Each structure stands twice: as structure tokens, then as C-alpha cells.
Amino acid sequence: MNKEYRVLVHSPEETKGLAERLASYLQSGDVITLEGDLGAGKTCFTQGIARGLDIKDVVNSPTFTLIKEYQGKLPLYHMDVYRLENTLDDLGFDEYFYGDGVSVIEWASFIEDLVPQERLEVSIRHLGENMRKIIFTPKGERYIQLLKELLQDENISH
């Protein structure tokens, strides 16, 4: 059974701050999946990761382009696969997942069979106008250790 770690955030800036701290632990080839309702904060979370990777570009949802690439300390591959629901097309995702950067995939459940088994799953849930519950589920030893390091200073429940 996979352990879950929960964090409450009270503003978009707290969401970005948490993701920015996460970015400092990321390495080439890391995969983060993001799930949550529309408007829950998936892109906001990705913006925090980008900030933590010293990416200066404006990061917004790649809904209509599928994948956006950004350059920083590590490349960031931001994917929104919402429009791929019910498709089995392999669009070369492996080149990103096993490449030189960090892959962040919004709506990853739509391409579950293509996503690496080892990954960090992040689920963002609305609890109020600005309050969100962020649930981290590490899949694989790399992500278990990453979360232990990240969350030792956070207000965490599991």
C-alpha cells in the first residue's frame, strides 16, 4: 500500500511555495502527475515548480498545445493530456519521461498506461475559495525519499 502525505494550503501563493520547495529536490527524469478538479490549482502548482527551477518564462496551461517546454536549472516538460482521453496514441512521451528534464503531467489518468510506474502523484482538492488539500502519493523508492526530505519541515499528516 502506498502512503499518502497531505498538506493544506490557504492560497495560490502557498501552493506555489510548496511546489517551489519540491523543485529543489527534483532530478532529470522525474515524473510528477497532477490530478484535481478544473481550477483546483494544477497549473498553479506547476508554476511553483517552474519558479523553483529558475524558469523565467510565463507558465500557463498547455491545454491546446499538449506539451510546453521550459528551460531552467532543468528542462520542464509541462503536459496537459486532458484532450487525449480515450486515445491510445503514443505521442513520444517516453522521450520526455526518460529525458533530461522534469515531466509534469496534468490529467495523467487519461494516459495511465503510458506513464512510468515510478512517479510522484499529486492530487489537489478544493476545500474552500482558496483552501486546497494537496495529497502526495510516492510511487517508488526515489519518490518516497524525495517526499521524506521535502516534508520533514512541512505541516504534514499521513
Report the DSSP pairing between strands 132-139 and 31-36.
unpaired
Tell me which residue of 21, 12, 11, 42 sits closest to 104, measured CA to CA: 42
| Model pTM above 0.85 | yes
Rounded distance, CA 64 to CA 83, Å?
A: 8
Confidence of residue 31 (pLDDT cuts 50, 70, 90): very high
Residue 142 burial class via C-beta count within 10 angstroms: exposed 0-12, middle 13-18, buried 19 and up:
middle
Confidence of residue 82 (pLDDT cuts 50, 70, 90): confident
C-alpha cell at 114: 503510458
Rounded distance, CA 96 to CA 108, Å?
A: 14
Rounded distance, CA 49 to CA 59, Å?
A: 10
Confidence of residue 90 (pLDDT cuts 50, 70, 90): low
Rounded distance, CA 69 to CA 62, Å?
A: 10
pLDDT of residue 66 exceeding 90, the answer is: no
pLDDT of residue 154: 58
Confidence of residue 110 (pLDDT cuts 50, 70, 90): confident
The single-letter DSSP state of residue 100 is S
Confidence of residue 150 (pLDDT cuts 50, 70, 90): confident
Within 10 Å of residue 22's Cβ, how many Cβ atoms?
Answer: 25
For the stretch 51-60, pLDDT in tens is 999 999 888 8
Across the chain, mean pLDDT equals 87
Tell me which residue of 46, 34, 124 sits closest to 82, measured CA to CA: 34
